[in-house]
Amino acid sequence: MNTSLRTKLELPREAAPLAVFRIFFGLMMVFSILRFWYNGWIESLYLEPVFHFSYYGFEWVKPLGPFTYLIFVVCALAALGIALGYKYRWSCLLFFLSFTYIELMDKTTYLNHYYFISVLSLLMIFLPLQAYYSLDARKHPEKAYQKVPGWTIISIRLLLGIVYFYAGLAKLNSDWMLEAMPLKIWLPSKFDLPLIGSLLGKEWVQYAFSWAGALFDLSVPFLLLFKRTRVPAFVVLVIFHVLTRVLFPIGMFPYIMIVSAMIFFPPSVHHKILEFLSRISGIVKSRFDNGRFLPFGKGSVYRLRNAFLLVFFGIQLLFPWRYLLYPGELFWTEEGYRFSWRVMLMEKSGYAQFKVVDRDNGKWVYVDNSEFLTPFQEKQMSFQPDFILEFAHFLESHYRQMGWGDVAVYVDSRVALNGRLSRPFIDPDTDLTQYKDTFEHKTWILPFHDTIKGL
Amino acid sequence: MTPVQMKRILLSFGVLLTLWACSPDSGGGGPEPPNPVSFDRGEMLVNWADNIILPSYANFNARLGTMNSAYTTFKSDPSEVNLQTLRDAWFDAYLGWQSVAMFEIGPAETAGYRLEMNTYPTDVITLEQYLSSGSYDLSLPANRDVKGFSALDYLINGLASADAQIVSRYQGTEQQALFDYIDAVIADMQSLTTQVIQGWENGFRDAFVANDGASATASTDRMVNDFIYYFERHLRAGKMGIPLGVFTGTKAPQTLEAYYRTSAGKELFLAAMGAFRDFFNGKHFGSSATGKSLASYLRDLNTLKNGAALDVIINDQITLATQQVSALDDFRTEIENNDPPTTMLLAYDEVQRIVPLLKVDMVSAMSISIDYVDADGD
């Protein structure tokens, strides 16, 4: 390993940024879960649907009826534990497991920022965020450290950097850059916003937003690293996220990103924040300023941890590129689309009408999707092939239970992508019951008949 | 960051924003004129309310009045001739209903107007029980299927197979019970209609027009959602799909709208389809003039995207579906005499093809979320 990089990873740094990050992250998560509950989403997204769309290999993860609330309680308490630094590693592990379980219950609700939370909390289990200014550090002074090795802070920065940079790379395609799509569709519909509303219908504004968005995502992780550019970059970051919050319904994500990005600031800023916190809470901050340095660590446990971190970041760097292994247009087939920081790239909607045929007697029906799916599920299902296939298999078993014989399921579907007219999406002559969901290319997706150039 | 740095940054952003806001709209002299989407949803809402919705309601209300007069005549002299006049007036009102059925918004939504006026098929057993017991409360939601147009359909078309037998029931011992029941049904329909019209006139029209934004609760978004829902549920499924049995595999002609008047199902469908198309194109009620509409909105958006003319595609598909349905025999005959009713199923498929054009292409172009879901996006 390069010595200067090694030094950077091992060099003692103030642990204050980690403490601030931990506190804000924990509180944001508590608030997110309460908000989720308060909005009635536990009920409407997890308890009301009769059918849930599962991730490949996680079909066993399902809502647990009324006990689903309990998972959210556990998740909120674990988040509170993180904020307080109380039994931090257990809290973090519990948070990661419960939060990820919630996300795996139904892929209808997949959002990149939920994935971000899962991945980040997984990483956090391995970071000593409780070393400073935590209940753990207070109870066990022998495990309290004012300073930590550099890698702990660098790994959070790296993950954030990947999120922004990959989101920027994903924007380098002809729809986004040359057609200003989908912003050309989305922005004009926000004409009623105060101040900027009248501008959003103008074509140059749509291009400006597209290009600025791509440039921002690609550059901000680097600009945050350097002292000279850090403050302006952070101001732009705040404006960017607030603007996305104003324009689009993206919940807590902008705030989470703004707070997370503070990890790029020097420790002096974090000490000020903690001093302020101490003043209003009466916590004695000086008790944590013990000057002790948490060593980098040697031995097999640490080697295992390091191996995990290498694998973790290796996956983070490589996984978004898996789409290259599939033929066809990524935006159309969505094979390898998720878990890759592709955010806000598509205005895509579809319509799927299923036909169930009993091959024994020729009897057939059209399916009323709303009989089985919520409007949200139906919407997500209608343009994502893996959802369509899963629903087709559900229909097969449903009609078999109703006493039908040899059931075949066909779908007549149309999908519109980024302002193009809708086109047939799935081969209407394919009996979907003949196909299992795999990671292989789905041959029954009809061709896109257009090209989107770029990454 | 220091306060000075902060101030400097905020100042430069302020300057940038001001520059941005003050920059001229057009490039000036370039070969391509700038194409801002200047579509005014407010104008469209005014056109909808003043030239389509309110006149349609007024027209329908007048037809209800005519029906009521025909009924009064029949009541004073229950003859076959007067029965026929009443039927014609009833059917005329039913046709007028097809022009207002899709506006389930505002006061109509509050009243549950569509289901109160026209839940079909009617529940003959309960209705006959009410006739013999004489005790019923038509305002109860549970009684929606024993009132409105479909109850009248049974009472003037379906009581018996021959007109002479129907009239004889109106002349016999049940006379008072029958007249009391029809009195109650028509009074209920007229009071609901008055309530809806007054709701529009006393405030809702202005609120509807003023709510010209782009949120999920804005008038345009709500109306488009209702309009598509109406097409899917009531025009496509209710009038054709369910009687054809496309969702169950078993045909069900008795679920046809106005089942007891054999020719009516198709005529009512075509009237509803015509009204649907007129609303899409912003055609003023009872006139050939047109105003701002979903079609003109699509045209404006298309100039920006240089896309295909979606309004034309939708109109073409409506034409095709209408032609196919027009060429059919009446719905009841098609369904009852053919097994499977292949020609009508093919016509249904053409009607069906309108749905994705509205639900995918149109709303996508307008960035209106369909079946608005209260959840985060990313």
- Tell me the chain B residues in contact with residue A188 when contact means C-beta distances shorter than 8 Å: 37, 301, 304, 367
Record: contact B36-A201, CB cut-off 8 A: yes
- Give the mutation candidate from B364, B372, B374 for the A interface (greatest A CB count, under 10 A): B364
How many Å lie between the alpha carbon of B35 and the closest alpha carbon of chain A? 7
Record: contact A202-B25, CB cut-off 8 A: yes
Query: First vs last Cα of chain A: how many Å apart?
Result: 31
The closest CB to that of A185, out of B237, B248, B367, belongs to: B367
- Of B25 and A70, which is predicted with more confidence? A70
How many Å lie between the alpha carbon of B378 and the closest alpha carbon of chain A? 5
> By the 8 A CB rule, do B350 and B317 touch?
yes
Say whether residue B22 is in contact with chain A using an 8 A CB cutoff: no
Record: contact B9-A232, CB cut-off 8 A: yes
Q: What pLDDT, on the 0 to 100 scale, is given for residue B90?
A: 98
Tens-place pLDDT, residues B208-260: 999 998 888 899 999 999 999 999 999 999 999 999 999 999 999 999 999 99
Say whether residue A191 is in contact with chain B using an 8 A CB cutoff: yes
Mean pLDDT in chain B? Answer: 89
Record: contact A192-B363, CB cut-off 8 A: no
How many Å lie between the alpha carbon of A251 and the closest alpha carbon of chain B? 5
- Tell me the chain A residues in contact with residue B33 when contact means C-beta distances shorter than 8 Å: none
Q: What pLDDT, on the 0 to 100 scale, is given for residue A441?
A: 96
* Residue of chain A whose alpha carbon sits nearest to that of B309: A421
Say whether residue B313 is in contact with chain A using an 8 A CB cutoff: yes
Q: What pLDDT, on the 0 to 100 scale, is given for residue B374?
A: 65
Record: contact A184-B212, CB cut-off 8 A: no
- Tell me the chain B residues in contact with residue A232 when contact means C-beta distances shorter than 8 Å: 9
The closest CB to that of B356, out of A344, A351, A420, belongs to: A351
> By the 8 A CB rule, do A387 and A53 touch?
yes
- Tell me the chain B residues in contact with residue A239 when contact means C-beta distances shorter than 8 Å: 13
User: Does the pLDDT value for residue B4 go beyond 70?
Assistant: no
Q: Residues 101-140, chain B: which have Cβ within 8 Å of A?
A: none
The residues near B54 (Cβ < 8 Å, ≥ 6 apart) are B197, B200, B201, B205
What number is the average pLDDT over the span B352-363?
Answer: 93
Record: contact A422-B248, CB cut-off 8 A: no
- Give the mutation candidate from B17, B19, B37 for the A interface (greatest A CB count, under 10 A): B37
User: Does the pLDDT value for residue B149 go beyond 90?
Assistant: yes
What number is the average pLDDT over the span B314-329?
Answer: 97
Q: Residues 252-271, chain A: which have Cβ within 8 Å of B?
A: 252-253
d(C-alpha A272, C-alpha A279), whole Å = 10
The closest CB to that of B377, out of A184, A250, A378, belongs to: A250
Can you give the residue ranges of every domain in chain A?
A: 1-161, 171-265, 330-434
- Tell me the chain A residues in contact with residue B297 when contact means C-beta distances shorter than 8 Å: none
With b for 16 or more beta-carbon neighbours within 10 A and e for fewer, the B116-126 pattern comes to: bbbbbbbbbee
Domains in chain B (CATH in brackets) are 41-366 (1.20.1420.20)
With b for 16 or more beta-carbon neighbours within 10 A and e for fewer, the B9-32 pattern comes to: beeeeeeeeeeeeeeeeeeeeeee
Element (H, E) at A220: helix A203-223
Record: contact B247-A365, CB cut-off 8 A: yes
Count the helix, strand and coil residues of chain B and give each as a percent rounded to the nearest 5.
70, 0, 30
Say whether residue A189 is in contact with chain B using an 8 A CB cutoff: yes
Task: DSSP for A250-279, please give it.
Answer: -TTHHHHHHHHGGGGS-HHHHHHHHHHHHH
The closest CB to that of B34, out of A203, A364, A379, belongs to: A203
Q: What pLDDT, on the 0 to 100 scale, is given for residue B16?
A: 41
Q: Residues 353-412, chain A: which have Cβ within 8 Å of B?
A: 353, 363-368, 374-376, 378-379
- Tell me the chain A residues in contact with residue B377 when contact means C-beta distances shorter than 8 Å: 111, 248-250
Identify any residues that bridge with A373 across adjacent strands, giving them in sequence order. Answer: none
Record: contact A39-B248, CB cut-off 8 A: no
Q: Evaluate the omega torsion of the peptide bond into residue A295 and state whether it is cis, within 30 degrees of 0.
A: no
- Tell me the chain A residues in contact with residue B237 when contact means C-beta distances shorter than 8 Å: 368
List chain A residues with pLDDT less than 70.
1-3
> By the 8 A CB rule, do B285 and B47 touch?
no
Read off the pTM.
0.88
Record: contact B246-A111, CB cut-off 8 A: no
- pLDDT band of B35, cuts 50, 70, 90: very low
Record: contact A368-B247, CB cut-off 8 A: yes
Tens-place pLDDT, residues B170-187: 999 999 999 999 999 999
The closest CB to that of B213, out of A109, A192, A368, belongs to: A192
User: Does the pLDDT value for residue B272 go beyond 70?
Assistant: yes
B268 C-beta neighbours (distance < 10 Å), count: 24
How many Å lie between the alpha carbon of A138 and the closest alpha carbon of chain B? 30
Dihedral class, residue A85 (left if φ above 0, else alpha if ψ from -120 to 50, else beta): left
User: Does the pLDDT value for residue B147 go beyond 50?
Assistant: yes
Residue holding tokens 């890759």?
A: A340
SS3 B233: helix
